[in-house]
Amino acid sequence: MSEHYFSAEPTSASRPRSFTLSVGGIDVRFDSDSGVFSADRVDRGSRVLIETLLSFRDWNGVRTLDMGCGYGAVGVTLAKAGASVVMCDVNERALALCRGNAALNGVSAECVRSDAGEGIEGGFDAVVTNPPIRAGKKTVHAFFENAFALLNRGGGLFVVIRRQQGAESAEKRIRELFGGCETLEREAGYRVLYSVKG
């Protein structure tokens, strides 16, 4: 069976690399490695999500869960913008990088091993995610369902997804859960979806 970035314990040989993301007036440095999603650079979808998030609101003090965080591209950037961030993933290598990247950028963030937010205490003002599409619809929809459970009333779910990789199905499930869904951004085939828990 081939290994995926959502494997719990990647067996691919370590091949460390580093890069910088500059977005919304914030410079963020990342260490990365093989066996994690988009190991060579912050992927386009995550970048679109980050840009949208930073222009959407002031994140200072916002209790935020980055669900399926990888090495921390979204969560670490939001922490630099002032958010109180918890990041979760099933991939142990990604979580180790996530912790290191928080320290590298001088921010405090909690990094937790969790499958789609399972076992995490709720009370979040925002859940942000670039869900693992290749893990299948059942897993992706579990992200949305658990996000709904973990959010405070009035809290928002922010999802980036490619139109050709199930955006319509994702939006349908989110509408069923939240009662509504707004598209905040469309860029290069990606959509940033936003829903508020009533």
Q: Which domains are assigned to the chain?
A: 17-196 (3.40.50.150)
What sections of the chain are H helices per DSSP?
44-56, 73-80, 92-104, 137-150, 167-178
Q: Could you identify the residue written with the tokens 């500059």?
A: 22
Full pLDDT tens readout for the chain, 198 residues: 334 445 555 557 889 999 999 999 999 999 999 989 898 999 999 999 999 999 999 999 999 999 999 999 999 999 999 999 999 999 999 999 999 999 999 999 999 999 999 999 999 999 999 998 877 889 999 999 999 999 999 999 999 998 777 778 899 999 999 999 999 999 999 999 999 999
Q: pTM here?
A: 0.92
